[in-house]
Structure 1
Amino acid sequence: MPMKHAIQRPETLTVDRDGRGVVRLTINRPEIRNAFDGTLIGDLTATLEGLAADDGIRALVLTGAGAAFSAGAELGWMRASAEQGDHENFQDALRLAGLMKRLDDMPMPTIARVNGAAMGGGVGLTACCDMAIASEAAVFALSEVKLGIIPGAISPYVLRAIGPRNARRYFLTGERFDAAAARDIGLVHEVVPAGRLDAAVDDLVDELLAAGPKAVRAAKDLIAHVAFREIDDLLIRDTAQRIAGQRAGDEAKDGLGAFLEKRKPGWIA
């Protein structure tokens, strides 16, 4: 196993990085099922900001400590936010929306390791990651309507993952659904027995590490720029420029040469 070292972070989080440049970011509040409040939102946003600036990170795995992935917003914090003035209430909501945007925009590939319950904002975190693997024991809910609220901050990312038709059911009923249903509607990519969760995540990480690190980041950026755009001359020129630029780089020359010469490229140890 690659050597790991812990990065100093707030008590709400643990961050471990191995020698391959793989980071595991764990929400470390098992006593409240890794629920959000203002402190966690600030800590997680700041930590993601720091990680985003690190070009050496090859993959980021997000998970929760204990039995839950994340129970979403902590009820006491939500009640306190609602009792503030309009401006303060809006600012709290904006900070949660900013966290989701920061996770969605991470430049390296991100994997949600959904080890248990993912409720409300926990569904949002799952949808913001590029890939998601869930334990068979995981359960999901967009339960906001049960509390008289709506999944506003997470809605762009969850809708993109599950589509409007599924959102019309799960946003409106707030019902719980299991990991198999989450896979069927597109929220997670794979469901595995709890005992195989780490192995499944490791398999996915291995696939990422076998690809060119610059190419992986460029491919992620390509998706963000191409998705849902009209296929017009401007888009065609942009995509042509992207592949031309990537192809002319040292990483592509090494990768293509390695394939033709039947050797490993330089990014594989």
Structure 2
Amino acid sequence: MADLIRTETDARGVATLWLARADKHNALSAQMMTELVDVAEALARDTEVRVVVLAAEGKTFSAGGDLAWMREQREMDAETRKRESRRIAEALGALAALPQPLIGRVHGNAFGGGVGLISVCDVAIGVAGVKMGFTEVRLGLLPANIGPYVIARMGGARAREVFMNARIFEAEEAVRLNLLARVAADEEALDAAVEDEIAPYLTCAPGAVAEAKALLNALAGRVTQDDVDMAIDALATRWETEEASEGLTAFFDKRKPRWAE
């Protein structure tokens, strides 16, 4: 199988972690999430890496959960589905645990799990025209497994504006919602903005940066294992509902669910 995550590290110690499933709009499959964990853990151990950039190939940052993966989950028993759905929480947790600063380079669209990826970045910069949303509730599901990281990033008050209504919002609003630090006019400007974000770290002591990040995380309040487990349980319960069954059936049948008719 082709690698769905690739990394490249330059002479400065800047590693770019690429979502490399462009043909599927970087939708998060089981394999992709497993690779994310493995790559993030390897980067965390690499003392030569000073900064990590999270970027994506193709036209889309990430369309969220892979549809084939979701279809497979419909046929699983509750416990197997719970174990399977934990994959995205583990991937986000591995990225959040990076000792190096993590800078997001966001373009195209980012939905569901894609917004979760943005939420674990220390700083994320988006290009004008980016569209985002927590679209799970349209399917009768919840943005649960990403929820602890999203709410830690946005704060509860801002999350209430978009977390439970599937509303699509653009880059400028994502800045107000604390998901993006700023907006670049185009992709050339986006690359320049990412470089501007990288540059100060390269003048700082790497060990001090890592310890400052660890202290910041501790003072700001980390996402706990209890938070992650509660979110996984909430999604597992939601999968068993008639709404989830109707929402997913309607989606795959390319029709509106009953509540949207």
TM-score clears 0.5: yes
Query: How far apart, CA to CA, are the structure 2 residues paired with 1:14 and 1:136?
Result: 25
Query: In 2, Cα distance between the equivalents of 1:10 and 1:20?
Result: 28
Match of 2:31 in 1: 39
Q: TM-score, normalised by structure 2?
A: 0.82
1:17-166 matched pairs, under 5 angstroms: 17-166=9-158
Specify the alignment match of 2:203 in structure 1.
210
Q: Answer whether contact 2:19 2:57 (CA < 8 A) is retained.
A: yes
The answer to whether the 8 Å contact 1:12/1:27 transfers is yes
Q: How many Å separate the matches in 1 of 2:110 and 2:40?
A: 20
For residues 10 and 49 of structure 1, what CA distance do their matches in structure 2 show?
20
Provide structure 2 residue ranges, at least 5 long, that are not aligned to the other structure: 223-261
Report deviation, 1:137.
2.2
Aligned to 1:196: 189
Q: Please state how far the C-alpha of 1:169 moved relative to its aligned partner.
A: 2.2
Which aligned segments of 4 or more residues in structure 1 are displaced greater than 6 angstroms? none
User: Bigger relative contact order, structure 1 or 2, given CA contacts below 8 A and separation 6+?
Assistant: 2
Matches within 5 A, 1:211-226: 211-226=204-219
Q: Is the 8 A contact 2:159 2:177 kept in 1?
A: no
> Which one-letter code corresponds to 1:11 in the other structure?
D
SS in structure 1 opposite 2:160?
A: helix
Q: What residue is the counterpart of 2:159 in the other structure?
A: 167
* Distance apart, 1:105 and its partner CA: 0.9
> Paired residues, what number?
221
User: Over residues 171-191 of structure 1, what are the superposed CA-to-partner deviations in whole Å (9 max), with x where a residue is unaligned?
Assistant: 111110000000011111011
**2: distance between equivalents of 1:190 and 1:208?**
18
> What 5-or-longer segments of structure 1 have no aligned partner?
1-8, 230-269
Q: Alpha-carbon deviation of 1:11?
A: 2.1
What is the alpha-carbon distance in structure 2 between the residues aligned to residue 10 and residue 50 of structure 1? 19
TM-superposition CA deviations, 1:18-43 (whole Å, max 9, x none): 00110011111111100011111111
Distance 1:94 1:77 in 2: 13
1:87 to partner: Cα distance: 1.5
Taking the aligned partners of 2:203 and 2:104, their CA distance within structure 1 comes to: 20
Greater Rg over alpha carbons, structure: 1
CA distance in 1, matches of 2:158, 2:217: 22
- Aligned equivalents of 1:159, 1:196: Cα separation in 2: 29
The SS at the match of 2:73 is: helix
What are the residue-to-residue correspondences of 1:177-256 with 2, within 5 Å? 177-194=169-186, 195-228=188-221
How many Å apart are 1:100 and its aligned residue? 0.8
Q: CA deviation at 1:10?
A: 5.1
Question: 1:100, 1:153 within 8 Å by CA — same for their partners in 2?
Answer: no
TM-score (ref. length: structure 1): 0.79
